[in-house]
Amino acid sequence: TKKMILDLDTGVDDALALALAVEDPRIDLIGIVSSYGNTLVETAGQNSLNLLHLLGADDVPVYLGESHSSTTTHFDVMPISMAIHGDNGVGNIELPQAPRKIESISGVQFLIDAAHQYGDDLIYLPTGPLTNLAAAIKQDPEVAQLIGQTTLMGGALTVPGNVTPFTEANIHQDPEAADFVFTHQKNLTMVGLDVTLRTLLTKNHTQAWRALDTLAGRTYADVMDYYINAYDTLDIDHRGAALHDPLAVAVAIDPDYVTTINLNTRVTYDKQSGDYGRTIGDSARLLDATTTKIAVNVDTERFVRDFQEFM
Ligand code: BDR
Ligand code: CA
């Protein structure tokens, strides 16, 4: 079985990605690297610990990654993130406290070590900014060739962004790091808004989780309902809330959920350009060979059905 590392800014949909990775027997979840984004990195790490505890997975270690982008010295959570994910990242639901702590070695070091140890068998899966992966490659350039597969949630190629007309939230946090990853990391698959906005979870689904009458089912339903309500009141989507991060996990395990195109891709990071943080085909490398894939279509029905049933 392949080893998977999740890089999460935990976050409601990150919490769903974590549950999917814990439950799926086709992969072995070997660790969580925490990121900033939906919350501060420390909060994201503690949320991951608490969620693993809730899911009976206290054996999966959690590491802290970078606390801010590579070009800033400080990170504040955006008000819109708090509105969507709650002040604590998990819909203002108080999770049962995990009995253990964050690991003492850094998330970036853990990733570098795992890349050397597992190589082709390693799947790296960021569902937040790409700061940690870029930092690992900068520290040890072999990492970009060693990791077997990287599947990320982020970006928007064929649809508008969700922070600006061009920019998706995870890319927006650190476009420089994202561009570095897109131009260095082999076997990269982008699962962006192009596909994730077509996979929506509704309260019919969370009601079914609640009906399981387990603590995990009830808690996840409460966390998810906060996010569904936010989508509704903020006019993002009235039909349900996007399964951004869990779709990336599903695609890493079963690529047939999506259709991809091969495209050498870049991220614009010139602040003056007006399309800051845009994921776009690299005109200089359009004819060059590539191992970068961009998901452009998704089997919505199959994924949403499978996702609702896994819990
Ligand atoms: C992405 O941004 C974060 O808010 C979500 O967790 C997801 O990873 C969607 O743009
Ligand atoms: Ca996320």
Check residue 32 and give its pLDDT: 98
The residue-averaged pLDDT of 69-89 equals 96
ipTM of the predicted structure? 0.98
Reported as a single tens digit per residue, the pLDDT across 13-54 is: 999 999 999 999 999 999 999 999 999 999 999 999 999 999
Reported as a single tens digit per residue, the pLDDT across 244-282 is: 999 999 999 999 999 999 999 999 999 888 899 999 999
Candidate from 38, 166, 226 with most ligand 1 atoms within 8 A of CB, to mutate: 38
The residue-averaged pLDDT of 64-79 equals 96
CA of 197, nearest ligand number: 1
Q: Is the pLDDT of residue 287 over 90?
A: yes
Query: Within its chain, how far is the Cα of 284 from the centroid?
Result: 28
CA distance 294 to 29: 24
The residue-averaged pLDDT of 146-154 equals 98
Q: How far is the CA of 154 from the centre of ligand 1 (A)?
A: 7
Candidate from 200, 245, 249, 278 with most ligand 1 atoms within 8 A of CB, to mutate: 245
Check residue 273 and give its pLDDT: 87
CA distance 265 to 262: 9
Check residue 39 and give its pLDDT: 98
Task: Kindly report the backbone phi and psi dihedral angles of residue 235, in degrees, each rounded to the nearest multiple of 5, phi listed first.
Answer: 60, 30
20-50 burial, b at 16+ Cβ within 10 Å, e below that, comes to bbbebeebebbbbbbbbbbbbbebbbbbbbb
Q: How far is the CA of 85 from the centre of ligand 1 (A)?
A: 10
Instruction: Count other Cβ atoms within 10 Å, centred on residue 96.
Output: 11
Q: Is the pLDDT of residue 87 over 90?
A: yes
Q: Is the pLDDT of residue 311 over 90?
A: no
Alpha helices in the chain (DSSP H): 12-23, 41-54, 79-85, 107-118, 131-139, 143-146, 169-173, 175-184, 193-196, 203-211, 215-233, 244-253, 300-310
Nearest-10 crossing angle of helices 215-233, 203-211: 170
pTM summary value:
0.98
Q: In what order do the strands lie in the sheet with 62-64?
A: 62-64, 27-34, 2-8, 122-126, 149-153, 188-191, 292-298, 258-262
Per-chain mean pLDDT for the chain: 97
Residue type, 145: Q
Candidate from 9, 85, 193 with most ligand 1 atoms within 8 A of CB, to mutate: 9
Alpha helices in 24-106 (DSSP H): 41-54, 79-85
* Ligand 1 pocket, CB under 6 A: 11, 13-14, 38, 81, 127, 153, 162, 168-170, 244-245
The ligand 1 atom nearest the CA atom of 162: 10
Burial of 308 (0-12, 13-18, 19+ CB in 10 A): middle
Check residue 309 and give its pLDDT: 87
